[in-house]
Amino acid sequence: MDPLLVTCLDAIKLLVSGDEALWNIIGVSCRVSLTALSIAALPAVLLGFLLAMVRFPGRWVVITIFHALMAVPTVVVGLSLYLMLSRSGPFGDLHLLFTQPAMVIGQVLLCFPVLVCMSHSAFQSLDKRAWETARTLGASHGRSFIALVREAKFALLATLVVGFGRIISEVGCSMMVGGNIMSYTRNIPTAIALETSKGEFAQGVALGIVLLLLALVLNFFLASFRGRGQLVSS
């Protein structure tokens, strides 16, 4: 039989048989990335909202910088964070290097610009009068903000999915500040890198399948949600 096919079959066997090491890796990945996303989401969306609503000098400079930050390679973020957290670095006393919190910090830094830029364009596409109407009807700032979030909910959901996609699949930063420690900081992408370097392709393919499925499920969820929304509004 074809080696590729054999590898894929082995991979599926591994997944179905509930291989403990494999599911542990998947757990680490989801835990770290979801934590990072939930820390970054609210401040980033608020910032995107402010950038869309408030006119101030140098606003486009800030937006441009965030757009540029979206393209920063993950290893660069990883390296800067490594130097900060290293024993000889300014935050060495915290002993955070090669821990899950360090990975979370890295992923927050990585998804923040994406969330800011995409939520900014989400709010920008709204009618400016929505905000004014809410305010004149006597809603507080907070209430009005929530009203606008409701208006832009599909675009904001897409924002979260893209932000999550950026961090669940990144290998550079996790490898550098997490250290790929078995059953502690080993996540899906770093495990794939390791298994391929060992020549254990089945493990790598199995984890790849998990990432693909995750992406598909998220996007199906998003699409179905959006589809229902359109039915209601039309």
Partner 1 sequence: MKNWIFRALATLVVICALPLQAEESIVRLATTTSTYNSGLLDALLPSFEARHNLKVQVIAVGTGKALRMGEAGDVDLVMTHAPAAEQKFVDAGFGVEPTGLMYNDFVLIGPAADPAQIRGNQSAVDAMKKIADSNSLFISRGDDSGTHKKEKGLWKSAGVDHRFENYREVGQGMGKVLQMADELNAYTLTDRGTWLAYESRLQLQLLVEGDEGLFNPYQVILVNPSKHEGLNTEGARALRDWLISDEGQQQIDAFKINGKPLFKASAAR
Residue ranges binding partner 1 (CB under 8 A): 3, 86-87, 97-98, 175, 179-182, 184, 186, 190-191, 194, 196-200
Residue number, 72 or 181, with CB nearest to partner 1: 181
CB 33 within 8 A of CB 107: yes
Q: Compute the least distance from the CB of residue 169 to partner 1, in Å.
A: 18
What are the φ/ψ torsions at residue 144 (nearest 5 degrees)?
Answer: -65, -40
| DSSP symbol at 71 | T
Identify which of residues 3 and 18 has a Cβ nearer to partner 1 in the complex: 3
Burial of 30 (0-12, 13-18, 19+ CB in 10 A): middle
Q: In the bound complex, what is the minimum distance in angstroms from residue 153's beta carbon to partner 1? A: 41
- Residue number, 137 or 182, with CB nearest to partner 1: 182
* Contact present, 183 and 24 (Cβ < 8 Å): yes
- What distances in angstroms separate CA 119 from CA 4, 122, 198, one per listed residue? 41, 5, 41
Give the nearest distance from C-beta 97 to partner 1 in angstroms: 6
Give the shortest CB-78-to-partner 1 separation in angstroms: 12
Checking phi first, is residue 79 left (phi over 0); if not, alpha (psi -120 to 50) or beta?
Answer: alpha
Please name which of 213, 178, 217 lies closest in space to residue 194, comparing C-alpha atoms: 178
Give 158 or 210: the residue with its C-beta nearer to partner 1: 210
Determine the Cα–Cα distance for residues 212 and 158; give it in Å rounded to an integer: 17
Comparing CB distances to partner 1, the nearer of 97 and 110 is: 97
In the complex, least distance from residue 86 CB atom to partner 1, rounded to whole angstroms: 6
Minimum distance from residue 198 beta carbon to partner 1 (Å): 4
**Residue among 197 and 230 whose Cβ is closer to partner 1:** 197
> What DSSP assignment string belongs to 113-180?
HHHHHHHHHHHHTS-HHHHHHHHHTT--HHHHHHHHHHHTHHHHHHHHHHHHHHHHT--HHIIIII--
